[in-house]
Amino acid sequence: MNNAENPQLTIPRVSGSTDWSGNKNSIYKTLGASNHTDKERQSEDYYATDPKAAELLLELETFSPNIWECACGEGHLSKVFEKAGHTVKSTDLMDRGFGETGIDFLSIDNLEWHGDIITNPPYKYAQEFIEKALQIIPEGNKVAMFLKVQFLEGKGRKKLFLSQPPKTVYVSSSRLLCAKNAEFEKMIAGGGSAVAYAWYVWQKGFNGTTGLKWFN
């Protein structure tokens, strides 16, 4: 996706303007958005998502031809969407050898994105990513975020869920992995993951009762 196809998209490049590193205080304030424990927390919060999560999501939902993966890492999700025929804009604040780098999604102003937004956001800023994404897409378009089931908890997020409820929360019945530094084999060798994840899917303008479904 380029600016000619989406003329109102103007993305500023930044150099680490957002603090992506975790600390204990922030972890306990936004625990539901965290992918891992404090002890394992990596600087800049890079935990790659199992591509299977994206493959399963595409079986559950239909999406716009245009998708923005705004925390793309090494492209584990983006590559699945591209293979499925979507035009994917892949950006990240950090340079991990894939997509457009130096892009701080939360610092973008005066933007409209004419498509859907799908990502596994940095744990510390999950709610902010959701709110920004819903702000910049048109009515009827979708935002899908891969987060812990525990993200459903919290008084602050309760306000979000009441004012902008997800249309559907898809809970993975089997474990899907988010691997530190994309080291999936190492994670599997160490016993896999005890963390339960879900896809949270918003459709802008939806104001009904959130559906809860299971997959995988």
Per-residue pLDDT in tens (0 to 9) along the chain, 216 residues: 444 445 445 455 554 444 443 333 332 233 233 333 333 333 556 777 899 999 999 999 999 999 999 999 999 999 999 999 999 999 999 999 999 999 999 998 878 999 999 999 988 899 999 999 999 999 999 999 999 999 999 988 999 999 999 999 999 998 887 666 555 566 666 666 668 899 999 999 999 999 999 999
Q: Could you write out the three-class secondary structure of the chain?
A: CCCCCCCCCCCCECCCCCCCCCCHHHHHHCHHHCCCCHHHCCCCCCEEECHHHHHHHHHHCCCCCEEEECCCCCCCCHHHHHHCCCEEEEEECCCCCCCEECECHHHCCCCCCCCEEEECCCHHHHHHHHHHHHHHCCCCCEEEEEEEHHHHCCHHHHHHHHHCCCCEEEEECCCCCEEECCCHHHHHHCCCCCCCEEEEEEECCCCCCCEEEEEC
User: Which domains, ranges and CATH numbers included, belong to the chain?
Assistant: 24-215 (3.40.50.150)
**pTM for this entry:** 0.79
